[in-house]
Structure 1
Amino acid sequence: MTMDSIGPDLLRAFVAVLETGTFTAAARALGTRQSTVSQQIKRLEGLTGRRLFARDTHRVALTVEGESFVDPARRILEAYDTMDRHLTGVPLRGRLRFGASEDFVLSALPDVLASFARRHPEVDLLVTVGLSEILYDAFDAGQLDIILAKRRSGDPRGVTAWREQVAWVARPDYSLDPTVPLPLLLYPPPSVTRSLAIATLDAARRAWRVAFTSASLSALTAAARAGVGIMPHSQRLLPAGLARVTPEGLLPVLPEIEFVILGPGRGERVAEALTRSILQWASLG
């Protein structure tokens, strides 16, 4: 096998199946037929001598060999895209509907947008802010082209942007009282961090109460700064004025969360460009 025998069409089919989770959805994203995508994956597996996907009647998943193929495939596609832009001189244009959680929008989005806008000034972005579960529903309904969200339990779709352990956060001088139920500041259901926090506290038999609920991170942050209580949150996307609370023995350790990018949708090249900007930002952390 030589690298020139693996064309970008095969690699794009591989990435589309990876990101959408099915051959049918990948075909829809690529604007082709399911049988074509299936043939492309079969040819790619033949050329590489590797079984890249494990298939069942409902969904496909990466094999161990497929996992090791993801990064090289993305790098090669990025090189193809860079060369294509250089040779054609045609800038990306279009409209992209992007959904993200408020913590990402308030902390990281300005840096991501600065990088993306410099490279693609003619792309119009329509940004939707919401809880991860709501963003998944909007993406599946075709209302968003690409989303950055916390991975939903049991959903293998998406490209991993980063993983981290959820932290308990509060105002820097916040003092815990172990004799009273833990006052929680939480998003309303459905919320990934809400579910993780409650399940973790229940498993540890730690008493708790919901002291403040809001769908707005700004409101939750204000409550935390006022000393109303404590909340589970991403350390990497930590709001200003808050700090991690780590008194040993008083709080159970929260599990890891994974932030993933789902897409591209209808605006394939534009969505891939935004995905690259997000992954580049994530790699710097």
Structure 2
Amino acid sequence: MVTLDVESVQAFVMVADLRSFTRAAETLGTTQAAISVKLKRLEDRLGFRLIERTPRLVRPSVRGAAFLCAARDFIAAHERAIAGLSASPRRLAVGFVDHVAGAEFPTLLARLHAHDPALVIEVRIDVSRNLIDAFDKGVLDAVIVRREDDRRDGEVLTQEHFGWFAAPGFTWPEGTPLRLASFAPTCLERIMATRTLDAAGIAWTETFVGGGIPAIVAAVSAGLAVAPLTFRVAPAGVVEVGKELGLPPLPSSEIVLHSTLTDARSRAALKILATAFREHRVV
């Protein structure tokens, strides 16, 4: 009968999730050598290789990927048993800037829950400024926001790249202000776009303001205006028209994770969330 130990299975799941022995060791508060020993012990007990490792790539093997779901269930059962010893459940309050929480958002939360089913996840979606205020006041344990000021702390997850998007065939009559659709007056996209246009000496007028991404997308798709959007959220049916219209390029924006959590389990959960976030951005 094959018996499994929690630490070995946890090491495998962490390496499979983070695709890195180094990050797995950092997250679990141990060394790469210890992770390798635990993984080798688990592979010997199961009788097959779980992780394929090359100088440039770490990933589950075919059989490792098949075992991963059962391994998660094994860890989850252990976590539930441990959680049952505590009178109060573990809570993680996380804030996401509204424009960052895209179509992959449910997948990110599912990945986090699969990693630690005993974790009670509370989610808040808002603009960056409100989330940072809540984080600084201790209302939120962690936030994923756009860097909008000179604040330099936090872990940079990725960069968002912006473009000028409009419906195919959008026209900008010569001698008239550029028709602009933008978000709320305090949002990053509007501030960035209007400052860029002003610096280039391009006259503009807002024909549609506010309403969130769906409303802005609708206005752009209808051919009413040009909008500053990230390439990630730009919908099908619109095109980037910056070069065609002679508009100045828009600066990119950093997506940053802020957290004050110090306990190993919460930091491990955030590592999983950050890794999944990066993976989806690459895809």
Smaller-chain TM-score bracket: 0.5 to 0.7
- Tell me if the contact between 1:146 and 1:271 (Cα under 8 Å) persists in the aligned partners: no
Match of 2:207 in 1: 211
Give the conservation status (yes or no) of the 8 Å contact 1:261–1:275: no
Whether the 8 Å contact between 1:178 and 1:250 is mirrored in structure 2 is no
Distance in structure 2 (CA, Å) of the matches to 1:278 and 1:105: 13
Structure-2 separation of matches of 1:138 and 1:275 = 21
Q: Distance in 1 between matches of 2:137 and 2:174?
A: 45
Q: Percent of aligned positions with the same letter in both sequences? A: 28
8 Å CA contact 2:183, 2:212 repeated in 1: yes
- Which residue is equivalent to 1:48? none
Instruction: Confirm or deny that 1:90 pairs with 2:90.
Output: no
Matched, 1:200 2:226: no
Q: Which residue of 1 aligns with 2:66?
A: none
Q: How many residues align?
A: 214
Structure 1 counterpart of 2:27: 78
Q: Determine which of 142, 145, 149 is the counterpart of 2:141.
A: 145
Structure 1 residues 140-199: Cα deviation after superposition (integer angstroms, max 9, x where no partner):
122211111111221001111111432112334433434321111212232222211111
User: C-alpha displacement at 1:253, in angstroms?
Assistant: 0.6
Superposed displacement of residue 268, structure 1: 6.7
Tell me, what secondary structure is at the counterpart of 1:183?
strand
Pair 178,161 (structure 1): closer, same or farther in 2 beyond 3 Å = farther
Q: Within the alignment, does 1:270 sit opposite 2:259 as a pair?
A: no
SS of structure 2 residue aligned to 1:104: coil
* 1:19-38 to 2 correspondences below 5 Å: none
Secondary structure of the 2:246 match is: coil
Higher radius of gyration, 1 or 2 = 2
CA distance in 2, matches of 1:132, 1:248: 32
* Unpaired runs of at least 5, structure 2: 1-19, 39-73, 84-88
Q: Does 1:135 align with 2:131?
A: yes
1:192-215 Cα distance to aligned partner (Å, 9 max, x none): 222111111011001111211115
Task: Give the CA deviation at 1:131.
Answer: 1.4
Task: State how 1:113-262 maps to structure 2 within 5 Å.
Answer: 113-248=109-244, 250-262=246-258
Q: 1: distance between equivalents of 2:108 and 2:150?
A: 28
> CA RMSD for the aligned pairs?
3.2
- Separation in structure 1 between the aligned mates of residue 255 and residue 272 of structure 2, nearest angstrom: 14
Could you tell me which runs of 5 or more consecutive residues in structure 1 were left unpaired when the two chains were aligned. Answer: 1-70
Are the aligned partners of 1:131 and 1:190 in contact in 2 as well (CA < 8 Å)? no
SS of 2:242's partner is coil
Q: Relative to structure 1, is the Cα distance of residues 127 and 236 closer, same or farther in structure 2, using a 3 angstrom cutoff?
A: same
Alpha-carbon distance in 1 for matches of 2:177, 2:195:
15
Paired residue type of 1:281: F
Q: Deviation at 1:135?
A: 1.5
Following the alignment from structure 2 to structure 1, what is the Cα–Cα distance between the partners of residues 226 and 104?
Answer: 22
| Structure 1 residue 79 displacement after superposition | 4.3
Q: CA deviation at 1:272?
A: 4.3
